[in-house]
Amino acid sequence: MKEQSSIPVSKVQRATEFLKTGAQIGGNYLKHYARKVVNPDLSRDDLNSDNAGDIYKSLSKLKGSALKVAQMMSMDRSVLPKAYSEQFQMSQYSAPPLSGPLIIRTFQKYFGKNPSQIFDRFNLTASNAASIGQVHEAWKDGKRLAVKVQYPGIAESISSDLKMVKPFAVRLMGLNEADVNRYMGEVESKLMEETDYTLEIERSIQISEACKGISDLIFPIYYKELSGPKIITMDWLPGLHLKEFLETNPTQEVRNRIGQALWDFYEFQIHSMRQIHADPHPGNFLLQPDGKLGIIDFGCVKVIPEDFYYNYFSLINPDNIADEARILKLFYSLEFLYPNDTQQDLDFYIPLFSQMIEMLGVPFQSEVFDFGSDEYFDGIYKFAEKLGQMKEFKQSKVARGSKDGLYVNRTYFGLYSLLNQLKAKINTHSVFKTLLIEV
């Protein structure tokens, strides 16, 4: 893959790149409507493909929070047209990497040395590259290491980047503007944390140590003395990312074993630690042929407030679905509903959110659930598509749902998507069913 020799860092440079992309998209629309005059039945597929390619090319050049938002959206196939989802998935671990001289400059800034002076061997060609940083292979004292290097200027550009990304999210992708405004603060705070590699090392050590007793999980050792504010050094874990792993045709037994490890990893964090690895995209996991699962990135961790935890898991517990009074109270607690809602609002949102919660809770309704069920996931995607077409929902001026739910919901749907791709059949019995409180 072609390397980048620089990243636009200043606000003017980054704004210019967004404007150029906007102009390209405008041209794509003109071409689409000209073709539609000749062929009135023409679908938007070509338009979506052209727009997705232009946007991804621009965001890849900018990297940082702009590319991270694309990565986040690609995890939920129900949010975007297929062309966008497929294109944005590339940001998970195969974005264009930075060139060697820029990496050397980062080491000189934070260590006062070149990587060749720190490691016995250091490969200046990145093994993979994502939105916030890229990974290089290195060796020291006989150990094979993974060295994650953050792109320059990323932390400083987060706030302005999100302001520029917002019009794309609202207009081009049809997202609700009130929801986008409501959650931008939560997204910005999490992205700022992801650029703090000192915090990431602390969380990586804490969570991997707490989860080391879970079967079939593997965590790297982190080396603080070889790490810094923009550089993290850890063991190199063997394994393949999900797409490559599935191409090896693993047995159902191995798929189930990895799926169970993944499920148990998240269940333990949520219910025992009240925090969660909130970035469950394929680039953060390495799958091994014997059914072991390596976990390599703790940059995005959501700490779950106690009141939100109890309300949320009371809501998705299947034992409570029939209790309309309790569900209604939980809807208000979690800000799906507000005291000043009209009867018309209630008549519209209560059935809608009830259906959404019921669908999210389906895997918890039995001891074992088959995530390979296309029927279940087709239902989710159809529901999301219907939701996106509802005028009342898209044009609402009120954001629905607690901001604390943004990363928790994202994590669950990301987890479900991974398990679906694995076609894993696993034990989904959850401790939360014994932890309910009266609300």
* Predicted pLDDT of residue 47: 59
Q: What is the pLDDT along the chain (439 residues), one digit of tens a residue?
A: 566 555 665 566 666 666 666 556 556 555 545 555 556 665 666 656 666 666 666 666 665 556 666 555 544 544 455 555 555 555 445 566 777 888 999 999 999 999 999 999 999 998 887 778 889 999 999 999 999 999 887 777 777 777 766 666 665 555 566 666 666 777 778 888 888 999 999 999 999 999 999 999 999 999 999 999 999 999 999 999 999 999 999 999 999 999 999 999 999 999 999 999 988 888 899 999 999 999 998 988 999 999 999 999 888 877 777 788 888 999 999 999 999 999 999 999 999 888 888 888 889 888 899 999 888 988 887 887 777 677 777 677 777 888 888 889 889 888 998 999 999 999 987 666 555 444 3
Residue 320, pLDDT score: 75
pLDDT of res. 330 = 93
Give the pLDDT of residue 329. 93
Give the C-alpha separation, 164 to 19, whole Å: 9
Characterize 356-365 residue by residue with b for buried, 16 or more Cβ atoms within 10 angstroms of its Cβ, and e for exposed: bbeebbbbbe
Q: Which two tokens stand for residue 18?
A: 């967004």
Which tokens belong to 56?
């991804």
pLDDT of residue 183: 65
- Characterize 148-179 residue by residue with b for buried, 16 or more Cβ atoms within 10 angstroms of its Cβ, and e for exposed: bbbbbbbbebbebbbebbbebbbebbebbbbb
Assess contact for 195 and 158: CB atoms under 8 A: yes
Q: Which residues contact 247 (CB under 8 A, 6 or more apart)?
A: none
Supply 244's token pair: 């490559």
Specify whether the CB–CB gap between 65 and 162 falls below 8 A: yes
Phi first, then psi, for residue 394 (nearest 5°) are -70, -35
CA–CA gap between residue 138 and residue 380 (Å, rounded)? 43
Quickly count: other Cβ atoms within 10 Å of residue 316's Cβ: 20
Give pLDDT, residue 181: 67
Residue 302 in 3-state DSSP? strand
DSSP string across 194-257: HT-HHHHHHHHHHHHHHTTTSTTEE-PPB-GGG-BTTEEEEEPPP-B-HHHHHTT---HHHHHH
CA-nearest of 307, 312, 287 to 364 is 312
Q: What Å distances lie between residue 410 and 280, 281, 295, 403, CA to CA?
A: 8, 10, 18, 12
Distance CA 278, CA 298 (A): 8
Strand partners, 135: 128, 148
